[in-house]
């Protein structure tokens, strides 16, 4: 009998080229995604050392972070250094034969949206990217994680990574998500409970009936934000939902290969009795629409709760972090967030800019209109998402309701392009980080689900979406 | 002044007591627009160092005269969490930092730092508190010695063991060419890839084949 393995251990073992020491292996990487801002120095280092890219077909690049999202037909990057990043990316891809989704490619989009939607993400793969939200791919049973630029160079040169092994954590969520709540609310609740460092050093495997009931797109949202608890990866064992998604997106998996793939994917689960280094259990029934009140994603609460009083927090570090966060966000301990006015609503990012997210926004908005004094932006995750939403009439309805319908990109999630908030502006945002200054210096971010963002847009303030919904 | 070798770092430390200080705050977005690593020192901790008008905030530790030239940071837990941007590490080094002492670090930042020989001394929370208490009593930096061989951080009044893997220790001491070392495995990597793709043909050239399929679809449309 072999020792029972976790899914994570199986994925590492099946990609280990060599064991370097007790803590490190040389890990083979099946797919490496690149963007324009964390890869240039890696290519430069590669060229300086006279090295090449031996396996270009396992690499792909996209212009995503600096791209403007104005609704124009032909996109021009006005900022000269940013424009240089885009042309430099194309030159590097051309030089090494790496496929690229360039600035004006109709399928351009956010890395973590385009890779799975075109079938590049398949169960059992190891996928890395110079972007921390690469944990997203765990939704399909692929081990994804973010790397730095030195490691981007390493992958380009060797198609491997010197990989420090992580510990195993299991997070079980059973039960049914209540009406008005989504995977976004679930992950915000989990992060608020375990903390911004709660999964640091671990790869988290999500399991339980509430996870199994999630759509693949909802699972992307969940795994995407596991990194905000410090996780080095997130995984969900691929089930029929995941496999159906992949087969629908990857027409090349057919015939004998399909049978071979299905047989392999059936092995991708943690064995009965596999040991986890840590475990958490949550009840989906406890989830409510969540909203952040501070400047770290773990500073989040249910919409019907009140902002914590720092002096009541037991931990000194949490206390001082909360005090600083409240100074920044201009909120008062003990207050409710319901009714707090917002000047901006942002719907986008690798967390929540897929078609199901936009359908949810459309459903909540219904015949309502964006509130006076609110600027509400929708930035679809990719060209394909945008086209789909336009075909379904979502774009037209949202524009009629007063939303801006923009071009795909990372946009105001990190405000690296020209979508930047002014100081003091308060934004209900479907993104992943509410750090100080993230969306603009002095701007205040409240992380919420797409439904909650829609509710904020039409009411002009942070609103419990359940009060707007007509019960089915 | 710092020693010019890597065995022992003799440093002057400033205290930045903020938990979960993310890489967005260490190196904000507007400084990420280059295609090389240069010019990042002005961006380090930009919103903490400068006010809305771009003027130095006098209360920020690195803006105080006594703290000019510090090269070690004593930081809060989970330092460097968030974005993978290696610019945060490059910027710290360009500013003059050689080491950070904290009880924990963001995972990607940790790898990035060690890949650039920015020393991270991970000590217990109690030890951080002890160094913090000492630093807080001074009007200037805390003199600190980090012995990489012994994995010890020492000040005049306190010493603490820190965690550093053997691999990271030798990377810091010797400044290895990690890619060069991995390329020594080139034959094994190639043999692995052949076996891997034979067993899982659906992952071979997945990016290239997908791109070609999408291109062909567009031509048809």
> What average pLDDT does range A44-63 have in this prediction?
98
> What average pLDDT does range B30-49 have in this prediction?
97
Domain architecture of chain A: domains with CATH: 7-164 (3.30.499.10), 293-467 (3.30.499.10)
* Sheet of B159-161, strands arranged across: B119-122, B99-102, B72-75, B8-16, B142-147, B152-154, B159-161
> What average pLDDT does range A418-427 have in this prediction?
96
Residue A471: its pLDDT value, please? 53
Residues of chain A found within 8 Å of residue B22, distances taken between Cβ atoms = 296, 433, 435
Which tokens go with A4?
A: 């029972």
Closest CA to B163 of B218, B119, B97, B208: B119
Average pLDDT, chain B: 95
Kindly determine whether residue A84 and residue B22, on different chains, have CB atoms separated by under 8 Å.
Answer: no
**B36: alpha, beta or left, given left = phi > 0 and alpha = psi -120 to 50?**
beta
**pLDDT tens, residue by residue, B81-99:** 999 999 999 999 999 999 9
| pLDDT of A141 over the 50 cut | yes
The CA distances from residue A360 to A7, A35, A182, A364, B219, in Å, are 32, 29, 10, 6, 33
Kindly determine whether residue A147 and residue B108, on different chains, have CB atoms separated by under 8 Å.
Answer: yes
CB B165 within 8 A of CB B127: no
A136 φ, ψ (degrees, to nearest 5): -45, -40
Residues of chain B found within 8 Å of residue A261, distances taken between Cβ atoms = 200, 202
Kindly determine whether residue A158 and residue B182, on different chains, have CB atoms separated by under 8 Å.
Answer: yes
Kindly determine whether residue B189 and residue A200, on different chains, have CB atoms separated by under 8 Å.
Answer: no
For tokens 């029929």, name the residue.
A240
Residues of chain A found within 8 Å of residue B179, distances taken between Cβ atoms = 49, 51, 153-154, 157-158
- The H-or-E segment that residue B4 falls in is none
CB B203 within 8 A of CB B196: yes
**B128: alpha, beta or left, given left = phi > 0 and alpha = psi -120 to 50?**
alpha
Interface of A with B in 188-207 (CB under 8 A): 196-197, 200-201
- The H-or-E segment that residue B210 falls in is helix B206-220
Distance from CA of B217 to the nearest CA of A (A): 12
Residue A151: its pLDDT value, please? 98
| pLDDT of A300 over the 50 cut | yes
User: How far is it, in rounded angstroms, from Cα A182 to Cα A134?
Assistant: 21
Residue B1: its pLDDT value, please? 36
- The H-or-E segment that residue A127 falls in is strand A126-129
Which tokens go with A429?
A: 């945002």
Distance from CA of B10 to the nearest CA of A (A): 27
In percent, the amount of chain B with pLDDT more than 70 equals 98
Residue A470: its pLDDT value, please? 61
- The H-or-E segment that residue B46 falls in is helix B46-49
Interface of A with B in 304-323 (CB under 8 A): 317-318, 320-321
> What average pLDDT does range A294-322 have in this prediction?
95
Closest CA to A373 of A329, A420, A341: A341
Distance from CA of B71 to the nearest CA of A (A): 23
| pLDDT of B33 over the 50 cut | yes
CB A325 within 8 A of CB A294: yes
Q: Which of A12-16, A70-74, B41-45, B202-206 has the lowest mean pLDDT?
A: A70-74
**pLDDT tens, residue by residue, A439-458:** 999 999 999 999 999 999 99
Query: A366-383 burial string, b = 16+ CB within 10 Å, else e?
Result: eeeebbeebbbbbbbbbb
| pLDDT of A73 over the 90 cut | no
Model ipTM value? 0.96
Domain architecture of chain B: domains with CATH: 8-176 (3.20.19.10), 185-220 (no CATH)
Q: What angle do CA B204, B210, B216 make, to 5 degrees?
A: 135
User: How far is it, in rounded angstroms, from Cα A286 to Cα A249?
Assistant: 34
Q: Which of A27-31, B2-6, B8-12 has the lowest mean pLDDT?
A: B2-6
DSSP, collapsed to helix, strand or coil, labels residue B68 as coil
For tokens 């990866």, name the residue.
A233
| pLDDT of A119 over the 90 cut | yes
A423 contacts chain B (CB < 8 A): yes
User: How far is it, in rounded angstroms, from Cα B118 to Cα A162?
Assistant: 18
Going by pLDDT thresholds of 50, 70 and 90, the confidence category of residue A329 is very high
Distance from CA of A125 to the nearest CA of B (A): 8
Helices (H), A225-315: 240-249, 255-265
Residue A469: its pLDDT value, please? 77
User: How far is it, in rounded angstroms, from Cα B214 to Cα B220?
Assistant: 10
Q: Which of B25, B37, B218 comes nearest A436 by C-beta? A: B25
Q: Which of B203, B205, B208 comes nearest A122 by C-beta? A: B203
Which tokens go with A267?
A: 């092995």
**pLDDT tens, residue by residue, A307-317:** 999 999 988 88
* A435, A439, A440, A442: best to mutate for the B interface, most B CBs within 10 A: A435
Residue B221: its pLDDT value, please? 73
User: How far is it, in rounded angstroms, from Cα A72 to Cα A66?
Assistant: 16
Interface of A with B in 100-139 (CB under 8 A): 100, 106-107, 118-120, 122, 124-125, 130-132
> What average pLDDT does range A315-338 have in this prediction?
96
Residues of chain A found within 8 Å of residue B39, distances taken between Cβ atoms = none
Residues of chain B found within 8 Å of residue A318, distances taken between Cβ atoms = 19
| A225: exposed, middle or buried (Cβ count in 10 Å: 0-12, 13-18, 19+) | buried
Going by pLDDT thresholds of 50, 70 and 90, the confidence category of residue B6 is confident
Q: Which of B34, B78, B213 comes nearest A200 by C-beta? A: B78
Residues 6+ apart with CB under 8 A from A172: A206, A207, A208, A279, A280, A281, A282
Kindly determine whether residue A18 and residue B185, on different chains, have CB atoms separated by under 8 Å.
Answer: yes
Residues of chain B found within 8 Å of residue A83, distances taken between Cβ atoms = none
User: How far is it, in rounded angstroms, from Cα B155 to Cα A462?
Assistant: 49
**Could you report how far apart the first and last alpha carbons of chain B are, in Å?**
66
**pLDDT tens, residue by residue, A355-384:** 999 999 999 999 999 999 999 999 999 999
Q: Which of A20, A320, A435 comes nearest B22 by C-beta? A: A435
Residues of chain A found within 8 Å of residue B34, distances taken between Cβ atoms = 40, 81, 85
Which tokens go with A90?
A: 């194309």
Residues of chain B found within 8 Å of residue A263, distances taken between Cβ atoms = none
**Could you report how far apart the first and last alpha carbons of chain A are, in Å?**
51
User: How far is it, in rounded angstroms, from Cα B205 to Cα A90?
Assistant: 19
Specify the pTM: 0.97
Residue B3: its pLDDT value, please? 41
Average pLDDT, chain A: 97
| B149: exposed, middle or buried (Cβ count in 10 Å: 0-12, 13-18, 19+) | exposed
CB A405 within 8 A of CB A365: no
Going by pLDDT thresholds of 50, 70 and 90, the confidence category of residue B133 is very high
Q: What angle do CA A168, A171, A177 make, to 5 degrees?
A: 160
Going by pLDDT thresholds of 50, 70 and 90, the confidence category of residue B2 is very low
DSSP, collapsed to helix, strand or coil, labels residue A109 as strand
Residue of A nearest to B208 (CA): A57
Distance from CA of A38 to the nearest CA of B (A): 7
In percent, the amount of chain A with pLDDT more than 90 equals 97
Look at the alpha carbons of A257, A260, A266, A270 in this order and tell me if their dihedral is positive or negative.
negative
């Amino acid at each position: 009998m072999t020792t029972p393995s976790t899914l994570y251990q199986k994925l590492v073992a099946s990609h280990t080229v060599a064991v370097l020491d007790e803590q490190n292996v040389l890990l083979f990487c099946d797919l490496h995604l690149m963007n324009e801002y964390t890869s240039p120095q890696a290519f430069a280092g590669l060229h300086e050392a006279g090295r090449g890219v031996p396996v270009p077909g396992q690499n792909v690049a996209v212009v995503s972070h600096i791209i403007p999202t104005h609704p124009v037909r032909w996109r021009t990057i006005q900022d000269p250094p940013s424009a240089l990043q885009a042309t430099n990316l194309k030159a590097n891809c051309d030089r090494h034969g790496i496929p690229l989704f360039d600035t004006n490619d109709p399928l351009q989009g956010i890395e973590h949206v385009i890779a799975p939607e075109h079938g590049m993400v398949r169960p059992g793969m190891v996928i890395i990217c110079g972007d921390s939200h690469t944990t997203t791919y765990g939704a399909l049973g692929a081990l994804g994680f973010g790397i730095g630029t030195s490691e981007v160079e390493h992958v380009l040169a060797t198609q491997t990574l010197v990989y420090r092994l992580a510990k195993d954590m299991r997070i079980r969520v059973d039960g049914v998500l209540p009406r008005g709540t989504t995977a976004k609310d679930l992950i915000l609740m989990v992060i608020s409970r375990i903390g911004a460092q709660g999964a640091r050093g671990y790869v988290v495997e999500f399991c339980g009936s509430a996870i199994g009931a999630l759509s693949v797109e909802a699972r992307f949202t969940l795994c995407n934000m596991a990194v905000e608890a410090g996780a080095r990866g997130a995984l969900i064992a691929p089930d029929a939902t995941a496999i159906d998604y992949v087969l629908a997106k990857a027409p090349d998996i057919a015939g004998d290969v399909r049978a071979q793939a299905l047989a392999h994917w059936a092995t991708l689960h943690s064995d009965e009795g596999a040991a986890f280094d840590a475990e958490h259990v949550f009840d989906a029934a406890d989830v409510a629409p969540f909203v952040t009140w501070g400047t770290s994603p773990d500073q989040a609460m249910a919409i019907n709760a009140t902002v914590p009083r720092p002096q009541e927090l037991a931990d000194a570090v949490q206390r001082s972090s909360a005090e600083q966060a409240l100074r920044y966000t201009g909120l008062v301990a003990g207050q409710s967030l319901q009714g707090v006015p917002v000047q901006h609503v942002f719907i986008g990012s690798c967390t929540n800019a897929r078609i199901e997210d936009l359908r949810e926004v459309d459903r909540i908005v219904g015949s309502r209109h964006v509130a006076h004094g609110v600027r509400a932006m929708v930035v679809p995750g990719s060209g394909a998402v945008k086209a789909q939403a336009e075909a379904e009439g979502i774009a037209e309805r949202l524009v009629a309701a007063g939303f801006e319908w923009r071009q795909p990109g990372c946009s105001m999630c990190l405000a690296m392009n020209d979508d930047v908030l002014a100081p003091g502006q308060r934004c209900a945002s479907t993104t992943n980080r509410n750090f100080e200054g993230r969306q603009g210096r002095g701007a205040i971010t409240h992380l919420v689900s797409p439904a909650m963002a829609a509710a904020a847009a039409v009411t002009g303030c942070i609103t419990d979406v359940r009060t707007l919904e007509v019960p089915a | 002044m710092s020693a010019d070798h890597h065995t022992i770092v003799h440093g002057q430390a400033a205290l930045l007591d903020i938990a979960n200080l993310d890489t967005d705050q260490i190196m904000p977005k507007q400084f990420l627009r280059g295609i090389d690593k240069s010019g990042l020192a002005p961006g380090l901790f930009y919103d903490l160092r400068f006010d809305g008008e771009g003027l130095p905030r006098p209360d920020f530790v690195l803006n105080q005269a006594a703290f000019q030239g510090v090269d070690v940071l004593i930081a809060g837990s989970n330092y460097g969490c968030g974005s993978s941007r290696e610019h945060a590490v490059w910027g710290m080094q360009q500013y003059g930092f050689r080491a950070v002492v904290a009880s924990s670090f963001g995972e990607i930042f940790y790898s990035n730092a060690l890949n650039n020989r920015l020393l991270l001394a991970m000590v217990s929370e109690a030890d951080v508190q002890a160094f913090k208490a000492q630093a807080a009593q001074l009007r200037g930096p805390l003199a600190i010695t980090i012995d990489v061989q012994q994995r010890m951080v020492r000040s005049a009044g306190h010493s603490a063991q820190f965690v550093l893997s053997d691999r990271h220790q030798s990377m810091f001491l010797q400044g290895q060419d990690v890619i060069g070392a991995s390329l020594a495995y080139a034959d094994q990597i190639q043999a692995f890839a052949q076996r891997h793709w034979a067993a899982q043909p659906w992952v071979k050239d997945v990016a290239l084949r997908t791109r070609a399929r999408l291109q062909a679809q567009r031509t048809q449309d």
